Structure 1
Amino acid sequence: MDNAASGGNGRGKRMRIHYQTRKQLWCLLFIAPQLVLFLLFTLYPIIMSYVYAFFDWSGFGRLDDYVGLDNFKETLYDPIFWNAFGNSLSFMLYVVVIQVPLALLMALLLNAQWFKGKTVYRVIYFLPVVTTTAVVGLVMRFIFGAYKGLVNEVLMRLGLLSAPVDFLGSIDTAFFIVVLVGIWKSFGMKLIYWLAAIQSLPKDVFEAAKIDGAGPLQMLRYITVPLLLPVGSVILLMSAVNALHVFDLVKAMTDGGPAFKTDMVDVYIYRYAFSGSGEARVGFASAAGVLYGIVVMIISLALGLFVKLTGGRRNGSV
């Protein structure tokens, strides 16, 4: 009987192992397409960009013209690269400083019990997020265009303009129009993040504060904001990293003009890698991409450390 029992246990164990193995194989089968796409179109290009950066290569032919660090040196001494780099950082700062707190205020308003039509407003604010960025950029070119543009038509009918203004063709207004559209395009996503964070806060804390006589402003200052700080730091991190990559919006709206006023590093890299005039310089563009990637990584690590410290302070205070 002992042998029979041990044999049964052995068969049961083998069946469980066989079941778990089949289950894992099915899981691998389902994630295989996504894994293959990730390896081919994300990981492989990242690795090869580091390789191309050390060669003077146009994207065609053999990879045999090794130039060492020359591409990096040329990038660092190129004033147009630093102009694009400054524009990218400025765009990120404008988006983070304006969009994140504004989305928080709107989320608090939409979460208020007395506010009517919450669902409608949430849909309205989220619609730009699901709209293709390139399409948004093309539409905005017509809206802010000098010839029969919607903005010019409205301002002229109101008597605020006597003649059409080329908002996207002027060095005084182009960058700020791109910033405005960028904030509007991704505003809904930050709004959803804040709403999710607010609705996850413990209600008993607010009820206790209300019983103690705390008013709405006091609860906002001493309860809501401190409890939202860890989540807010994560939203800040995501907003900053996403704002550093605005290729599709800028390419569709201004293509980096006028006079490189809205030129971003993504557009700068594209211009050299897929040049429409002259020979493409994939090696040089790769070097610029590597340098910019290192900067984005440093910013991400710094903000990530801020998120960790913020969460640690909150956990220590609870």
Structure 2
Amino acid sequence: IHVVESLRPGRVGASAVLEFWVGILTQQQLWYRDKTVLFLMDQICCAAFTHHQEDCVQKLLYQQYKSALGFHGDRSLLSSLVGWIAGNATPSFIEGQSLSAEVWFAWMVLNIEGMFEEESQLRRCVELELLSENISPDQALKKAQQRLKLPVVPSLQRLQVYRWACQAIATPPDHPLLPLVWQKFLQLYLRQPGPEYGLAAGGCIGRRFFQGSSQALVLKDLRQRIQEVSDFHHAASQALRVPLPNTPSSDSQTIRYLWFSHRLFGVFALWMDDESLQKQEVYLPSLPPEYESHRLAQVMQHQQVCSPSPFKTGYASFAHL
């Protein structure tokens, strides 16, 4: 309500209100362990999406995140890694691997962690090591540490590909951000970075991150979860097609959204299950129509192929699906 009121003529605007509340809620030590604060931060992050102010909140959280890492304005980004303790998890505002209740907040946090991973060149270096040698992700991370001359290596489970994987599993099937969460994971899992590093295009890199037994279990859970999500939207769309007696007919736009969600997650499941995408370069136009190769190409190029549900956020439409 405060954000909506701020949009009236002559008022301060949404960004000022969001900055105020983020500043208030994050003042105390370990604020991200307080469930009440997390609930309110989740509402703020949702409002930021609704009013196109994500950058405002992300900027504030990113500043706090870098402070948690020991980074300050007079130190380089890489030298800030000195503050990490060897063997411990990289600092995060998310306790554990994911959040199932505060998904809007989790989305913001994982995005700022991704910004840091990009700026430090860590992801690119780990990918290069995985492509250059037949080694485990843990070994690749250690080699990346040596190549980048990082004094301390961050924990493996904090890499973005694992973070988005766990968040995709944890996010409720009816959450409006779920399509974007899955896209974030698939953009990393289905990347074909070989040519970027002067190497042959040898398929997607994602499978190389899931070689160990524990990582293979996560991959199994992902495949099971995405099928469950697809089935959930299919069942919901079918249920709405049969209105109860003495009730208004179902909203056709809602049915359309649910049907497209069912189809979208079904396509995601196809991509996940096709091992040929991981083993070799595939000529995308040659894939069967159900693969929707144009969307697969978009994901591989790190482009967004759909937006959050308009029915809970008012943020975007699935009309272009």
TM-score after normalising by structure 1: 0.25
Q: Which has the higher helix share?
A: 1
Normalised by the length of structure 2, the TM-score is 0.25
Task: Report which structure shows greater RCO (CA 8 Å, sep ≥6).
Answer: 1
